[in-house]
Amino acid sequence: MKQFLILISLAVLFGAAQFANTYTDSHLIEGIVLDQDTGSPLFGVSVLEKGTTNGTNTDFDGRFSLTVTNAAATLVISYTGYQSKEITNITPGKEIKIHLGVNNMVLDEVVVTGKSRPRLGLGKVFKKDRSSAPATYHTAPYVNSHIPPSDPVDNWNTEDYALIQENRFLEVGQEPLSTFSIDVDAASYSNMRRFLKNGQTPPKDAVRIEEMVNYFDYEYPQPQGEHPFEVVTEFSDCPWQPKHQLLHVGLQGKEIPMENLPASNLVFLIDVSGSMENANKLPLLKSSFKLLTDQLREQDKVSIVVYAGAAGLVLEPTAGTDKRKIKDALSKLQAGGSTAGGAGIQLAYKTAREHFIEGGNNRVILATDGDFNIGASSDAELVRMIEKERESGVFLTVLGFGMGNYKDNKMQQLADKGNGNHAYIDDISEAQKVLVSEFGGTVFAIAKDVKIQIEFNPEHVQAYRLIGYENRMLENEDFNDDKKDAGELGSGHTVTALYEIIPSGTKSDFLADVDELKYQKENKPNAASRNSEELCTVKLRYKKPDGNVSQKIEHIVSANDIKEASDNFLWSAAVAEFGMLLRNSEYKSKANYEQVIQLAKKAKGKDENGYRQEFIKMAKTMHSLADPEMAGKE
């Protein structure tokens, strides 16, 4: 009996010792991450406990705190555009200071073919040779410091982008009308930036020029009349083709003060499947939604729906003032399982409908990498589902996260068909831009089904080409058809479109040689056009967010209005030219990075948030790649 009691006592002591070891093995580590060259704090840096999914991101002051599970833990510090660093021999309770240096490894171009399903980061890299020898291909790693080692199957690069066939020049005599839907999305720009920061040229079809142009704000006047937006046009010389002209068309959405915005019924629809476990996915997503939560008011309410192998409601509608409850629900989310995106979408819309606010802002905010693989997952199934759900008056915002398996094409379609918008969150700074600085534009629509139709006068315009908007083109008859869906405009949003114009009488290699018609005469300008000084007529249609009947606006551009270009004009031209170079467009003519840089510098303006300076820096990097002798000379 005495021996038995001794054994019990030893077991209790051993268990207590084990409990004590488990408890003391948990340590809080605090630190700050700084730029090695400037000493400035880095915002949104990934801090990950090596060998685990336990991680966090630095705040606006570059600081972080992380409770690790092992006293001998190693921290992996990573940030796009910078060299990763591993930190060992950490003393708990003592703040650590970490300096990251810029990653100078830059690749010219990565081409990944879907059929071969290469390992993530292994693609063909086309590297220009400054000698006269033929170009060669090299294999190089995908610079991706955020993704920890895992099963090779998980590291396949399966990113998807829809094919873009660039708009061509159309002769006014044959096609005088150009019709398209507006696009306020800016996902392509931040995704393109992610590639460039990782030392890669983005895939050609990841570059949507209209989204790059619309990433930036422009100094357009606020609407003064009955309509929710103002139309602004400008007409000047085309920078990359001196024989051509450029028509700049801008829309400025009315900016509604935060206190005057209608009450919101928001459903956060969050992908918590296994593919979301990386630091630049679910951890970044949770931090982003916490920023959004801070913008909510007493009259707003939030529900949270998650999906992995199945979908579930994890937070009933909660008042916007109960921020701690919303943030706690977000903090508890963990990634794991497959991806039943279709079921999640259905439950999110059902939740939004059940708590619908009449006259309010009812919206599902979907956050995902887009990699759906269970249930309704094909593009066609999901698009039909979204088209049906939008009839309830619930709008959709789609936020994309991550890399390697990012499904850009799927998210573009969902946002387009769901009366919504699409943004790509590559770091916490972009989350701050989209969900804080542009909160009203992201989640509050002031007009829907906004269409533009331009009629060109053949007396002054021989041919024209809409730059970008390839996936937003409409048939001419769609302009007057109120059943046809089009884009939405948010509070304070700006939309910009550019047309490259070949003036009448100008010879151009871009115009096709077509045989004369046998059975009818070609369209000829009528007497009214020959006597008119009008370059074109810009027509717009839009509906109120809860309306079904459109209203029409007309705006005439005079051919005599050609003048010295404004900063708005020059900046949009610089960004469009940069996009054409990234796409290696057949219409780039004399476009070059040096001209992009000079135009952008001239039109930079106030740039309070530094977005334009960042663009100039990226243009300089690409200039150095295109002409290595220019490196360091900008």
Name the band, by pLDDT with cuts 50, 70 and 90, for residue 156: low
Residue type present at position 91: T
Q: Rounded distance, CA 174 to CA 488, Å?
A: 30
Rounded to 10 degrees, the C-alpha dihedral 43/495/194/287 comes to 40
Which residue from 588, 596, 583, 605 is spatially nearest to 624, judged by alpha carbons? 596
Q: Exposed, middle or buried by CB within 10 Å (0-12, 13-18, 19+), for 148?
A: middle
Name the pTM for this structure.
0.76
Q: What is the pLDDT of residues 390-449, one digit of tens each?
A: 889 999 999 999 998 898 998 898 898 888 899 999 999 999 999 999 998 888 999 999
* Per-domain residue ranges of the chain: 23-100, 170-256+455-513+523-534+559-609, 274-439
DSSP structure string for 128-141? --SSSSPPEEEEE-
Number of H helices, E strands in the chain: 14, 26
Name the band, by pLDDT with cuts 50, 70 and 90, for residue 169: very high
Name the band, by pLDDT with cuts 50, 70 and 90, for residue 522: low
Which residue from 585, 598, 579, 611 is spatially nearest to 210, judged by alpha carbons? 579
Q: Rounded distance, CA 243 to CA 214, Å?
A: 26
Name the band, by pLDDT with cuts 50, 70 and 90, for residue 122: very low
Name the band, by pLDDT with cuts 50, 70 and 90, for residue 378: low
Say which CATH superfamily domain 23-100 falls into.
Carboxypeptidase-like, regulatory domain (2.60.40.1120)
- Into which CATH architecture does domain 274-439 fall? 3-Layer(aba) Sandwich (3.40)
Residue 39 has pLDDT above 60, yes or no: yes
Q: What pLDDT is recorded for position 4?
A: 44
Please report the sign of the dihedral spanned by the C-alpha atoms of residue 114, residue 115, residue 121, residue 122. Answer: negative
**Is-same-fold flag (23-100; 274-439)?**
no
Q: What is the pLDDT of residues 229-280, one digit of tens each?
A: 999 999 999 999 999 999 999 999 999 998 899 999 999 999 999 889 888 9
